[in-house]
Amino acid sequence: MLGKIRLGILGCGAITQNAHLPTALRDPCVQVTALVDADLNRARLLQRFVGPSCEVTERFSNVVGNVDAVIIAMPNHLHASTTIDALKAGVHVLCEKPLALTAAEARACCEVATRKGLVLAVGMNRRFDDRRVLLRRALEDELLGSLTGYDWQCGSPWEWETASGFYFSRAQAGGGVLMDVGVHLLDSLLDWFGPVNRVDYQHDDWGGGIEANALLKLHHFGRFGEISGSVKLSRTYNLTNRLMVSGSAARAVLPEADRSLITVHRLLGGHEASMTLRLTESYSPDESFSRQMSDFVESIQSHREATVDGWQAVGVLDLVERCYAQARRLSEPWAELDKARHEVGA
């Protein structure tokens, strides 16, 4: 492809304003040529950062021919159908996670991308954090010894400045904390530890709502052998916000607050000692969204698969579906008090 990639951004909500648009504007290989949003005011608001030459419209169909690639950052329920529309129009796609609400829909997206020979990347920006490489190398070098388990807690009171509020609609979001931040964690875990052959899942959806808290127990069988671990997710409580991977020789701690490092704890001369690992080589110049954009651009330019392609998203959604299918209600004894006797004075 000669010259800059003409990029359209579909969906002008918070993630576009805070991450995708600034990243695209910084990328020398990209020219933002279109902003699309059902709410034209949102699109016009962001157009001010791009310039008047950037087309602003309500529908993707209006910008076909003016874009080589698109970022899809619309409410979740529109991801799959818009991805398919874009691919069918001959446009490369970087779709925000989750790629679809179901694995079947995600598979359909992948099939169209394969048939059309186009790039389908999924916005799992955490995969471009330094710690992904650091932990993988630590595991490959057997720094932790043989793996014994992991514990990942990720949660804090919800603060995302959502523009549309779709996150709280099951029909539009497809789920709660598992479908939102959970898919990031599952994607990383599948990447590090391989496929999951057993899963146990509990959440606090009262039936017909969307979960704010979830507990997962996963058993992997991958290149580092068998490993079991637990994941705790929350949109209401502050959790420890770190991943701890334990092995026979040491344990690695990956804090959510700084995704550029891991800390390895082990016994040294009978006493606990720790060392912090950071990448010293120039892995990539910028933060995860920039790296994700660069990866998308390179995939288009060199006709290769994206680092996080659609098929990997199918694997994650397949696991999400398994979780939801066997979901058990999280025990909340403080809340269930009234189950037996809700009628006052009865």
Q: Examine residue 205 and tell whether it contacts other proteins (CB under 8 A).
A: yes
> How many whole angstroms separate alpha carbon 46 and alpha carbon 34?
11
What three-state secondary structure class fits 284? Answer: coil
Directed axis angle between helix 183-193 and helix 130-140, to 10°?
A: 30
Considering only residues 92 to 151 of the shown chain, the ones binding other proteins according to CB under 8 A are none
> How many whole angstroms separate alpha carbon 63 and alpha carbon 90?
12
Q: Examine residue 237 and tell whether it contacts other proteins (CB under 8 A).
A: yes
Write the single-letter amino acid at 236. Answer: T
Find all residues with CB under 8 Å of 177, minimum gap 6, and list them. Answer: 155, 203, 211, 212, 213, 214, 233, 234, 235
Assigned token pair, 181 = 């931040």
Closer Cβ to other proteins, 125 or 213, answer by number: 213
Q: Examine residue 160 and tell whether it contacts other proteins (CB under 8 A).
A: yes
Residue 219 Cβ vs other proteins, minimum distance, rounded to whole Å: 24
Q: Examine residue 339 and tell whether it contacts other proteins (CB under 8 A).
A: yes
Closer Cβ to other proteins, 268 or 337, answer by number: 337
- Scanning 32-40, 192-200, 290-298, 337-345 for contacts with other proteins by CB under 8 A, the matching segment is 337-345
**Cross-strand partners of 11:** none
- Scanning 68-76, 193-201, 205-213, 256-264 for contacts with other proteins by CB under 8 A, the matching segment is 205-213
- By the 8 A CB rule, do 319 and 186 touch? yes
CA distances to 1, 211, 243, 263, 269 from 273, rounded to whole Å, are 52, 39, 18, 10, 9
Considering only residues 303 to 332 of the shown chain, the ones binding other proteins according to CB under 8 A are 332
HSE on the CB side for 5, CA within 13 Å? 26
Q: Pick the binder of other proteins from 66, 236, 248, 276 (CB under 8 A).
A: 236
Closer Cβ to other proteins, 206 or 283, answer by number: 206
Q: Examine residue 345 and tell whether it contacts other proteins (CB under 8 A).
A: yes
Closer Cβ to other proteins, 208 or 285, answer by number: 208
> How many whole angstroms separate alpha carbon 178 and alpha carbon 316?
11
Binding-site size for other proteins (CB under 8 A) equals 38
Find all residues with CB under 8 Å of 264, minimum gap 6, and list them. Answer: 138, 143, 144, 250, 251, 252, 253, 274, 275, 276, 277
Torsion sign, CA atoms 200, 107, 287, 70: negative
Q: Examine residue 226 and tell whether it contacts other proteins (CB under 8 A).
A: no
Q: Examine residue 18 and tell whether it contacts other proteins (CB under 8 A).
A: no
Q: Examine residue 204 and tell whether it contacts other proteins (CB under 8 A).
A: yes
Residue 75 Cβ vs other proteins, minimum distance, rounded to whole Å: 13
Binding flags for other proteins, 60-99, as an x/- string (CB under 8 A): ----------------------------------------
Considering only residues 161 to 200 of the shown chain, the ones binding other proteins according to CB under 8 A are 161-162, 165, 167-168, 176-177
Residue 37 Cβ vs other proteins, minimum distance, rounded to whole Å: 17
Find all residues with CB under 8 Å of 137, minimum gap 6, and list them. Answer: none
Closer Cβ to other proteins, 148 or 162, answer by number: 162
List of residues contacting other proteins (CB under 8 A)? 157-162, 165, 167-168, 176-177, 204-212, 235-240, 332-339, 342-345
